[in-house]
Amino acid sequence: MSSLGRREGKRSNKGFEARRGDVGVSQHSGNIDVTATFFCTAPVSVATMNMLVDGEWRTDAYQTTNEDGAFERGTTSFRDRIEDDPDARFQPEAGRYHLYVCRACPWAHRTLVTRKLKGLEDAITVDYVDPYRGEDGWQFTPEKDGCTPDTVNGSDYLREVYVEADPDMTGRVTVPVLWDKQEETIVNNESAEIMRMLDTEFDDVAEHDVNLYPEGYQEDIDEIIEAIYEPINNGVYKAGFADSQAAYDEAVEELFDALDHWDSVLEDQRYLAGDRLTEADIAMFTTLVRFDEVYHTHFMCNHKLIAEYDNLWPYLRDVYGTDGVAETVDIDHIKEHYYTTHPDVSPKRIVPKGPAPDFKAPHDRDELPGGPPADLV
């Protein structure tokens, strides 16, 4: 049982209320409040971000901090959903959908972990953009290790994919992107919703019998994902991109209060929602695995390393050691992206060597009740 308490009964995993253009409106995936949305776009500076305006690329159109110097994450633009329903526009079919991701991005990483755990590699194809993001936005550099060309649309920049879906697109160009090859459009670019769709709607084409949103846990999972988003997942960015001491101090205090809380929760249970590996663990993992290598130094979240926590550190190694998860982690891309793409934070763009935490070290978490899905053991 999670610290939030078990609630019985099934909660719908469908019903994403938001659609394209619903900016600044309370939006939900299941019970997840995604008014603050989960995607990755790297600021070229702390003051502004690049974006599309009426289908044209602009480098001065979006402010990332408010008047108090606090970082504010924007909203996603494409919010359709795939449903295992014969009447649905977007139905789960092998070979129909394609992911555009960056290996460095924690939001895109959620979709890669889910795809891997479910065994959807053959059903859903993927392309990887360059971890470095300059003024032209996310780009395809197939000559670079770990990167690919755009194998579906032949684009040089990810923004071209967005314009292909909507020639008059106004909004930020972010990863992940879930593309429909059949209708030649973007289905969704909200990571929490893509993660949920891959988990719940593709069972008929998945190679693994893995359920990361099981009945009896669903309300807890939704509440945990929401609870960790603002102080932890987004909190590291609020600290790193803060433009005032007060905004930074508030973000760091909230971040480490939350980390301390979940470290305590994990003392007596193997996973965030209890004895089952769930979507909540994926949402936490993709932040924690970047913490000591990047957020601790680059974003000045240096009160404590994850490796110094009694329970979060072995928990991180436990999830990392789940079959297939380590293959989704590319520390080189992660470090290159953060240290070279944010010149206002790291102006010399020097990538540090350490600290190189040992994610493969024994963790002893298997002594607690529960474990990963049987198909992953």
pLDDT in tens, 187-228: 999 999 999 999 999 999 999 999 999 999 999 999 999 999
pLDDT value for 68: 72
pLDDT value for 40: 66
User: Tokens 């649905």 — which residue?
Assistant: 88
Closest CA to 22 of 96, 79, 94, 60: 79
Q: pTM of whole model > 0.75?
A: yes
Cα separation, 8 vs 6, whole angstroms: 6
pLDDT value for 77: 79
Cα separation, 109 vs 251, whole angstroms: 23
Domain spans in the chain, listed from the N-terminal domain onward = 28-200, 218-376
Class of domain 218-376: mainly alpha
pLDDT value for 65: 67
pLDDT value for 66: 72
- Alpha-carbon distances, residue 158 vs 133, 136, 167, 289 (angstroms): 11, 9, 13, 26
Are the C-beta atoms of residues 30 and 142 closer than 8 Å to each other?
A: no
Q: In what order do the strands lie in the sheet with 97-101?
A: 124-128, 97-101, 177-180, 185-188
* Rama region for 69: left / alpha / beta (φ>0; ψ in -120 to 50; rest): left
pLDDT value for 49: 72
pLDDT value for 2: 45
Q: Which residues of the chain have pLDDT under 50?
A: 1-36, 42-47
pLDDT digits (tens, 9 = 90+) for 104-157: 999 999 999 999 999 999 999 999 999 999 999 999 999 999 999 999 999 999
Closest CA to 246 of 62, 38, 36, 65: 65
Count the residues in the chain: 377
Catalytic positions are 105, 237
Cα separation, 348 vs 72, whole angstroms: 25
Cα separation, 52 vs 137, whole angstroms: 10
For 239, the token pair is 């600290």
Closest CA to 189 of 156, 197, 181: 197
As its CATH architecture, domain 28-200 has: 3-Layer(aba) Sandwich (3.40)
Q: Checking DSSP bridges between strand 97-101 and strand 124-128, what pairing results, if any?
A: parallel
